[in-house]
Structure 1
Amino acid sequence: MAVASMQVDKVVTKSSPKRKDHIVFTITKFIVTKYFKYLSPAIINWEGQENILENPTLFVANHYTRIETAILPYIIYQITGRQVYVLADQQFFFGLFGKWLLICGAYPIQDKNRNTRIIGDLITGKSNWVIFPEGSMIKNKKTYQDGKLQLDCPDRKGPPHTGASTLALKAEIFKRSYLDAVRDNDLEAMKYYEEKYNISGPHEVNDKPVVITPVNISYSPLRTGEHFFPRFIRKKFPDLGQRAIEEMEVEIPLLFSKKAVIDHYFTEAVYLDNYVSYLTKLKADTKGTFSEESLSDLILDWQKHGLTDEAMKKVYENNYINIDQIFSTAMRVFKGKSIHINTLTNAIYLATSEIKSSPNFRKHHTLYGNITHLIADQDYQPLKEILQIGIEEKTLKLENNILYIDPKNLAKEHNFHSIRMYNKLAVFANELEPVVDAVRIIESYINQDATTIAQLTVKNLIAECSREYVKDFQESFNDTDTPSKESFPIYLESESNEIGIVLTHGYLASPEQVRPLAEFLNSLGYTIFCPRLRGHGTTPEDLKERSLDDWYHNIERGIGVIKNSCKQYVLMGYSLGAILSLLSAAKKQGKVAGLVCINPAYIPKSLDHYLVEPTNYLNKMYNKFYQKDLLNDQVVVDESHDYPIYKHTYVKNLHHIKKAIKQTKQKLGDIQANTLILQSVNDPLFKSSGAKKLHKAIQSNVNQLSFLDSSEHDILYSDSKAIMYAQIKSYFEENFPILNIQLKNNTHDIEV
C-alpha cells in the first residue's frame, strides 16, 4: 500500500473539537491502517495525492460498492492526517456493518442536522467530508448517455444529484457573508451564522476557499464466485434478501481476492470562485431589493448543475482503463457479427498501445507487462478471463478461431441488482463510456478490415521497437548523440507471405550481427525480422537493468511482426538468441512452424558460471539494506570474440541467462516445431554435449542436429559460415519451400 504523506494545516486542525466520534475514528483509523493489509489481500492504490489541498474540502466520488464508504475516509486520513466524514444512505446502517460505518465517521443522509454540520465544518475547516453525488450505488456503471452525464438506477434516471455542490456553494457563500457581517459589524447577522453553523467567532473561520476534490474509484477484476464469507452470512442470516446476497457475491471478492486491486485517483480540485463571484456584484446591484438568502438561492439554482457536471466529469473521465473495459467496449462498438480471434487481438493491442501512449488517460496495470502475448500466440490471462466471461454469459461464442458476437444479449436489460452477476461485459463497457476519446480509439481499430489491422500492427510494432531503442540510447548517453544504425531492428520483406523468420542475435551483440544471415534468407524468399534484445546497443550499465522478461518481450514483438506478415513463422537464433527462441517455441505449444538454433548457449564450459547465482544472491540481499553490492559483479568480456560490443558485463545479466536456460530446460518437451540445431564441435564457450541434450529432449517430428567442424562460438563469421548457410538453406527448402519469389528489398547474394 503506497502512502504519500502531506503536510497538515496546523491553523485548521488546532481548533478541531474533541468530539467523541473523532476519538473513536482515530482509534479505528489506527486499527484499519495498521492491520487492514493482514485482513485483506486486496491491493489498495492511490494517486494524485498532490491534488489534495489544505483547503476545506468536499470530496465527491463514484459509488459502486459499500466498500468505498468505509475505506475512502481512511485513505484521505492516511494522506492528510485530517479528520474526514462521509455521507452514506440510511440503508447501509444495519447490524454490525452499520455500527462500524458510524465509528468510521459515516453519517446517514437522513440525519436532520447533516447539512448544517457539513456547511459549518467547511466554513471552519474543522473536518472534510466525502459525498457520493450518484445518491446510491450505480451497479450497472451506466453514467453517460448521448454525450452527457445520465445515471440509470432504479429510483431515477437523470444527472447526478446536486446536493454536494449545493453544500459546497452554501459553505463558501455563507462564509463570505459571515466575513462581510464581521467587516460591517452586523452583530445580528454574525449571531445568526455563529449559532446555526457552530462558529465560535471570526478566528475560527478558515481563510482558504472551499474546494471540491473529485475522486475516481476503480475496481478490478470484477469476478464473482463462491466465497466462504457469503456462505457463512447466508447461514447466519437466512432471511437475507437476494439483493444482499448479490452484493456479497460481488463485493466480497473485490476485497478478499488476491487479484483484487482498488485504485483511487484524486483529480485536480474544483475551485468555487467562478461559481460564486457573481454574488458580490449582485449584492451591490440589488441592495435593498432582495434578501441575502434570496440572492444565495439564486446563485445556487444558477450554478449547482454546472458545478456538479464539472466535478463528476472529472470523476468518470479519470477511470483506470483496463483490458476488461477495452474488450467489452470493442464488443459493443463492433459493427459486424463475427471476427477472427487474431484480428480481434490485433485490434485490442493497437487500441491498448494508443491508450497507453496518451497522457490523457489513467491506465490500469493490466495494460502493461506481458500484453505482447496478445499478438504473439500466447495466452494473455486478463483477456482469456474476460473472453470466458462473455462465453459464459452467452454474449460470445468461439468456434474455429472465429468469435461470434450477440449484440442483443450484450444490450439485454437485466435487473439493476443482478447485472453485475449476469452481464459483466455491459458493466465494463458502461464504465468506459464517459471516456469518449478512449471509446473512439477502440472503435476506430475494431471496425477495420483484417488486412488493414494486420498491416497497422506490423507498422506499430516496428515503430515501438525503434522508439524503445532511441529512448534507451538517449537515457544512456547525451541526448545529442545519435543512436547506432546497427542496433535498430531489421525488417526485410518478401513478396511471399507464406513463411517469415524471427532471427535473434546473441549476447552483447546487436541485430547487425545477424544481418548477413538475414539478407541471405531474404534472398531465398523469406520475410525476416531481427529484434534488438533490450540493453544491447547502449551501455553495459543499461544492460544490467534489463531482464529475461525484457528479452522475451522483444522476441514476442518480433513474432507479432512476422505473424501479421506471413501465414507461418520460424524462430531462429544464435547463442542467447537460440535459447530465447527455444523458450518461446516451447511456450507457443505447436504454433511455431520451425526452429533453428545456432550454437545455443545451453551448457557453459567455464566453471565460473557456478558462481553466478551465489554472487547475484549476496549482492541482491546486501543491496537491499545498504544500497550497494557486496561483491564486484563486473565481468570482463573476452576480446577474442568476433562481435562483442561491450568490454564488460555484469553477473546480474548472467543470472538472467541462466534463468532462461533453466526455464528452457523445463519446457523442451513442449516443442513441436520442425527443429534444426547447428553446433560447433569445439565451441570454446559452450559444451557440444548441450546440443545433444537439446536434440534428445525435443520431441518434434523433424529434429535435426548437425555438428560443424569449427573451434569458434561466433560461427556466423567463421570459416564454417558457408557450410552453415548451406545446411540452413537445405532445412528451409525441405520444410518450407518457396517458389517464384520477387523480393521487395534490394539484397546482396551470399556465396555458398
Structure 2
Amino acid sequence: MNRSAYLTTGMAIKTLSRLSRANIVIHGREHVPGNAAIFVVNHFTRIETFFLPYHIFNLTGIPVWSLANAKLFQGGFGRFLELVGAVSTRDPQRDELVIKTLLTGEANWIIFPEGSMIKTKKIMHGGKYMVTDPKGMHEPHTGAATLALRAELFRRYLLLHSKKRSSQANCSLEYLGLGSVEEMGNAAPTIVPVNLTYYPLRAHENVASSLTEKLVKGVSERVLEEIMTEGTMLLAGVDVDIRFGKPIDIGAQLAHLVSDEELLQSDFNSFVGAPFFKTVIQGSGRRIMQQYMRAIYSMTTVNHEHLFASFLRMYPYEKIQKKDLQRRVFYAASLLQEREYQHLFLHKSMQEDQSHLVVDDRYRKFENFLQLAIDKGIVKKEGETLVRDRSKLSAPVSFHRGRIDNPVEVIANEVEPLKALQKFLYSLAWQPDFLLKLFLIRYLLKKANQQYHSAVEQWCSMSGIQKGSGKPIFYSSIQKRTGILLVHSYLATPLEVKEFAGYLHKKGYWVYAPRLPGHGTCAADLAGRSYQEWINEVDAGYALLSNTCRRVVVGGVSVGGNLALHLASRVPDIAGVFAICPPMQLRDYSSTFMPASDTWNKMVQKIKGEHPDEQFLKFAAESPHINYDRNPVQGIKQVGNLLDDLEKRFAKVTMPSLIVHADHDPVVRRKGSRKLFDRLASVQKEYVLMNSDRHVIVQGAGVEKVFQRVRLFIEGAEAQ
C-alpha cells in the first residue's frame, strides 16, 4: 500500500467533506482503541467507504484500510479505491495483509459484515440477522471475526515460540513478511462495532444525477439511484450520527478456547492448516459475528421519522387522524427521552422538548414526513384524516429502487432490530385514542409537578426560596369542553392567577396555569433560564388542554400575556387570546422594573464580574409572598429577547383578541400595550382600560370587573 498516495487522497476526501453539507456527529470516541482494530460497520451508502476512513484516521492517527467488493475495482474508480486504502475481497494476499497490519499496528481496517449495501435496511428476517441482496438471502459474513481471531492466534503463537527460541517462530515471521517479533504490538486486536444513521432519508433529482444523465449514456438504474440518494444526502445537509460501540476483546474471546500448550505443541504447518484451529475459528467467528451485529444495530440513532414510519406500519386501522398520529409520536418521543428506554440512542432533536409535535410543528418534523408519505403514495389526505395504503407498508422493497420509491418502509425497517423499541411502539399504536389522551394528560401533569419539585430540591439551600407557590394549577370540568390556559407574569408564580383560575373553573371551564421555568424557586434559578424554556412550558400547557378540550383560549398577565400572544401567533386553532397589562418592548417598563439606561449599561458590563450580587436588581414586589424581590439582569435580557421575537409575529395573531390594561399601571406604560393592540391582525379585537393603580390587576380589590370582562370575551370566542 502506497502510504504517500493514501495520505494525498485523504486530503482530497477532506476537501470533499468540507464541500458536503452533511452534519456529522461522532459519538463514543472513548471506545476507539489505541491499538490496531477492525471496525465493523453497517453499510447503507457508498459514503461510508469514503468518509468513515477519514474520520477514524483523525481519531487514531493510523491509516485506515478497508475490504471492498471485487466488482468495484474497475477502471479509474478501482484505482481511486486503491488510493483510499481499499483492498479487493478477491485479492490473493488479502488475509495475510489484514493479519500482518493488525499485528504491527500499521493500519486499522473497516469491514462491512453485510458484504454489500443494505439499501432497504431490511436486516431482520424471522428474528435473525439476514442479508437480502439481488442474489438472495444469506447470513452476515464472519470475515471480520475470523481475521481478528487468526491475527490473535498468530500473535500468541509467535510470542510463545519466540520465548522458547523455536524455529517455528521464524516460519511464522516469514509467512507474515515480518522481520522480527519486535515489529509486532503487545495488545490483542479488537473489533469495534460502528453504526451510521442518516436523518432525514430523502432521494430526489439533484445536480449530480442531472449531470450524470446528460453526460453518461445508458447510465444504469442502480448507479442513478445511488447518485440521487447519496447526492441528496451530501447536498441537502443530512445529519449523520457515527456511533462507536465498546470494543470486543478478541484475546479474551480466544483465551479459553485454545491453550498455550496446544499452540506450543503445533509446528507451523500444522498450526496453519490444522482442522482443530479452523473449527475453533469458524465456531467462534459465527458467535462473534452475532455479537457485533447486535452491537451495530443496537446503536441505531432513533429519530422522529422512525416513530412516524413505525406507527403508520403498526396502526391497526386503515384510517388515522393527523392529530392522533402526531399525539402518538409526541407521547412516544417524550417517554423515550425521559426514561432512557432500554439504552436507546436518540437523535439530538429528540433530546429536547417535544411539545412542538402537537402544538405548531415549528420544526416541520411532521409536515416533512407527511409530505414524503403523500408523495410516495403511502398515505392520502381526506381532510384531517390519513388513509394508508397497507400494500406499501408491508410489501418487500425493491433493492435498487426502495430508497426512491418507498423510503417510508426503508425508514421503518431500520429500527426493526431494536426489539424493545418495537414492543414499546406496538403497545402505543394499539392504544385506543381516548385512553391515550388520558395517559397523556396524566403524563404532562406529572412531568410539570416533578420538574417543580426537582427545581425546589435543587435550589432549596438558596435564600429567598419560595416553597409551595410554584406548583402548577389544574382544574378539570365536566360542564364545558373549553379550556383556559392561564400564564403568570415574570418574577411571579401560578399562585398569582389562582383566584382567577378558580373563578373560571366555577364558570365551568377547564383551567391550567403552568409554572414558567425559573419561577417558584429563587432568583438565582431564574437567572439561568431562557425565554425559549418559557415558550416550551406554555406549549406543554396547550398540549395538555388541546388533547382534552374542543376549544382552548390562552391568556396571561404581563409577560405571561406576551407568552400567550406568542403561542397564538403560531397556532391558528386557538379560539381566542387575551393579555392583561402586556408590554410591547422593554422600554415600556417603568423604573420599578428596569433601571435607567446608564445604570442598565453598567449592569450589562458587570454581568461577568466577580460579585454575584451585581447580577441582580432590587425589585419592589406587589406581592412579596409570590414575587421575587430580586430581578436577575439575565432574566431582563430574556424578557427583552421574548419581546423582540414577538414583535415580528403580531401580524400572525388573527383569532379574537382582548388586551386589558390598568389606566394607572405603575410598572408597564399603557402606550406600549396600545401599540401592541394596534399591531394585532385580529378582525375581532378589543382594548379595555380598567380603573386601577396596580400592575397585577388579577389580585386584590376590583378583580371581579377584570374577571367578568375576560369571561365575556371567552364566551364570545366560544360562540365563533
**TM-score normalised to the size of structure 2?**
0.92
Map of 2:181 onto structure 1: 202
Pairing 1:127-206 to 2, within 5 Å after superposition: 127-187=107-167, 189-206=168-185
Displacement, 1:69? 0.8
C-alpha distance in structure 2 between counterparts of 1:617 and 1:478, whole Å: 26
Q: Does the residue aligned with 1:224 lie in a helix, a strand or coil? A: coil
C-alpha distance in structure 2 between counterparts of 1:108 and 1:610, whole Å: 74
Are residues 470 and 612 of structure 1, via their aligned partners in 2, closer, same or farther at CA, if it must alter by over 3 Å? farther
Which residue of the other structure, out of 310, 325, 328, is the alignment partner of 1:329? 310
Q: Does 1:593 align with 2:570?
A: no
* Amino acid of the structure 1 residue aligned with 2:330: Y
Map of 1:263 onto structure 2: 241
Q: Does 1:460 align with 2:443?
A: yes
Are residues 339 and 428 of structure 1, via their aligned partners in 2, closer, same or farther at CA, if it must alter by over 3 Å? same
Displacement, 1:492? 1.1
Displacement, 1:91? 3.5
Displacement, 1:657? 1.9
C-alpha distance in structure 1 between counterparts of 2:556 and 2:696, whole Å: 12
Map of 2:696 onto structure 1: 714
C-alpha distance in structure 1 between counterparts of 2:7 and 2:614, whole Å: 49
Q: Any conservation in 2 of the 1:139–1:420 contact (CA below 8 Å)? A: yes
Map of 1:54 onto structure 2: 34
Displacement, 1:26? 3.2
Q: Does 1:389 align with 2:369?
A: no
Identity fraction in percent? 26
C-alpha distance in structure 2 between counterparts of 1:312 and 1:548, whole Å: 44
Q: Any conservation in 2 of the 1:615–1:631 contact (CA below 8 Å)? A: no
| Larger mean Cα displacement after TM superposition, 574-583 or 631-640 | 631-640
Displacement, 1:176? 1.3
1:570-604 deviation per Cα after TM superposition (whole angstroms, max 9, x unaligned) = 10100001001011111112x00121211112241
Which residue of the other structure, out of 548, 569, 587, is the alignment partner of 2:552? 569
C-alpha distance in structure 2 between counterparts of 1:618 and 1:639, whole Å: 21
Q: Any conservation in 2 of the 1:61–1:132 contact (CA below 8 Å)? A: yes
Q: Any conservation in 2 of the 1:348–1:442 contact (CA below 8 Å)? A: no
Displacement, 1:476? 3.8
Are residues 198 and 542 of structure 1, via their aligned partners in 2, closer, same or farther at CA, if it must alter by over 3 Å? farther
Q: Does 1:225 align with 2:204?
A: yes
Map of 1:7 onto structure 2: none
Map of 1:373 onto structure 2: 356
Q: Does 1:276 align with 2:279?
A: no
Displacement, 1:729? 3.0
1:489-519 deviation per Cα after TM superposition (whole angstroms, max 9, x unaligned) = 2111111351011110100111121111111
Q: Does 1:124 align with 2:104?
A: yes
| Larger mean Cα displacement after TM superposition, 342-351 or 198-207 | 198-207
Map of 2:639 onto structure 1: 657
Are residues 145 and 556 of structure 1, via their aligned partners in 2, closer, same or farther at CA, if it must alter by over 3 Å? same
C-alpha distance in structure 2 between counterparts of 1:62 and 1:351, whole Å: 26
C-alpha distance in structure 2 between counterparts of 1:612 and 1:569, whole Å: 43
Map of 1:693 onto structure 2: 675
Q: Does the residue aligned with 2:106 lie in a helix, a strand or coil? A: coil
Are residues 610 and 367 of structure 1, via their aligned partners in 2, closer, same or farther at CA, if it must alter by over 3 Å? farther
Displacement, 1:548? 2.1
Q: Does 1:404 align with 2:387?
A: yes
Q: Does 1:705 align with 2:687?
A: yes
Displacement, 1:60? 0.3
C-alpha distance in structure 1 between counterparts of 2:436 and 2:597, whole Å: 48
Q: Does the residue aligned with 1:417 lie in a helix, a strand or coil? A: coil
Map of 2:663 onto structure 1: 681
* Amino acid of the structure 2 residue aligned with 1:262: V
Displacement, 1:397? 1.5
Q: Any conservation in 1 of the 2:617–2:633 contact (CA below 8 Å)? A: no
Q: Any conservation in 2 of the 1:371–1:380 contact (CA below 8 Å)? A: no
| Larger mean Cα displacement after TM superposition, 504-513 or 713-722 | 713-722
Q: Does the residue aligned with 2:258 lie in a helix, a strand or coil? A: helix
Map of 1:72 onto structure 2: 52
Q: Any conservation in 2 of the 1:692–1:705 contact (CA below 8 Å)? A: yes
Q: Any conservation in 2 of the 1:76–1:84 contact (CA below 8 Å)? A: yes
Map of 2:276 onto structure 1: 295
Pairing 1:313-352 to 2, within 5 Å after superposition: 313-352=294-333
Displacement, 1:183? 2.9
Displacement, 1:186? 2.3
Map of 1:81 onto structure 2: 61
Q: Does 1:666 align with 2:645?
A: no
Map of 1:101 onto structure 2: 81
Q: Any conservation in 2 of the 1:343–1:453 contact (CA below 8 Å)? A: no
Q: Does the residue aligned with 2:664 lie in a helix, a strand or coil? A: coil
C-alpha distance in structure 2 between counterparts of 1:535 and 1:421, whole Å: 47
Map of 1:10 onto structure 2: none
Q: Does the residue aligned with 1:454 lie in a helix, a strand or coil? A: helix
1:539-559 deviation per Cα after TM superposition (whole angstroms, max 9, x unaligned) = 333323322211110111000
* Amino acid of the structure 1 residue aligned with 2:554: L
Which residue of the other structure, out of 708, 711, 715, is the alignment partner of 1:729? 711
Q: Any conservation in 2 of the 1:682–1:712 contact (CA below 8 Å)? A: yes
C-alpha distance in structure 2 between counterparts of 1:586 and 1:520, whole Å: 27
Are residues 152 and 295 of structure 1, via their aligned partners in 2, closer, same or farther at CA, if it must alter by over 3 Å? same
Q: Does the residue aligned with 2:45 lie in a helix, a strand or coil? A: coil
* Amino acid of the structure 1 residue aligned with 2:375: E
Are residues 86 and 649 of structure 1, via their aligned partners in 2, closer, same or farther at CA, if it must alter by over 3 Å? farther
Which residue of the other structure, out of 400, 422, 425, is the alignment partner of 1:439? 422
Pairing 1:597-608 to 2, within 5 Å after superposition: 597-603=579-585, 604-606=588-590
Which residue of the other structure, out of 527, 536, 548, is the alignment partner of 1:544? 527
C-alpha distance in structure 1 between counterparts of 2:116 and 2:603, whole Å: 52
C-alpha distance in structure 2 between counterparts of 1:165 and 1:538, whole Å: 56
Task: Report the aligned-residue RMSD.
Answer: 3.0
1:356-414 deviation per Cα after TM superposition (whole angstroms, max 9, x unaligned) = 22430111123144631122244541221111111111111222211111211222334
Q: Any conservation in 2 of the 1:582–1:595 contact (CA below 8 Å)? A: yes
Are residues 522 and 160 of structure 1, via their aligned partners in 2, closer, same or farther at CA, if it must alter by over 3 Å? same
Are residues 640 and 171 of structure 1, via their aligned partners in 2, closer, same or farther at CA, if it must alter by over 3 Å? closer
Are residues 50 and 282 of structure 1, via their aligned partners in 2, closer, same or farther at CA, if it must alter by over 3 Å? closer
Q: Does the residue aligned with 1:705 lie in a helix, a strand or coil? A: strand
Q: Any conservation in 2 of the 1:64–1:141 contact (CA below 8 Å)? A: yes
C-alpha distance in structure 2 between counterparts of 1:126 and 1:707, whole Å: 80
1:653-692 deviation per Cα after TM superposition (whole angstroms, max 9, x unaligned) = 3233223223333222322322222110111222212332
C-alpha distance in structure 1 between counterparts of 2:192 and 2:453, whole Å: 39
* Amino acid of the structure 2 residue aligned with 1:264: I
Pairing 1:229-248 to 2, within 5 Å after superposition: 229-248=208-227
C-alpha distance in structure 2 between counterparts of 1:204 and 1:286, whole Å: 21
Are residues 460 and 97 of structure 1, via their aligned partners in 2, closer, same or farther at CA, if it must alter by over 3 Å? farther
Displacement, 1:75? 1.1
Q: Does the residue aligned with 2:689 lie in a helix, a strand or coil? A: strand
C-alpha distance in structure 1 between counterparts of 2:598 and 2:582, whole Å: 19
| Larger mean Cα displacement after TM superposition, 416-425 or 433-442 | 433-442
Q: Which ranges in structure 2 are unaligned for 5 or more consecutive residues? A: none
Q: Any conservation in 2 of the 1:279–1:295 contact (CA below 8 Å)? A: no
Q: Does the residue aligned with 2:193 lie in a helix, a strand or coil? A: strand
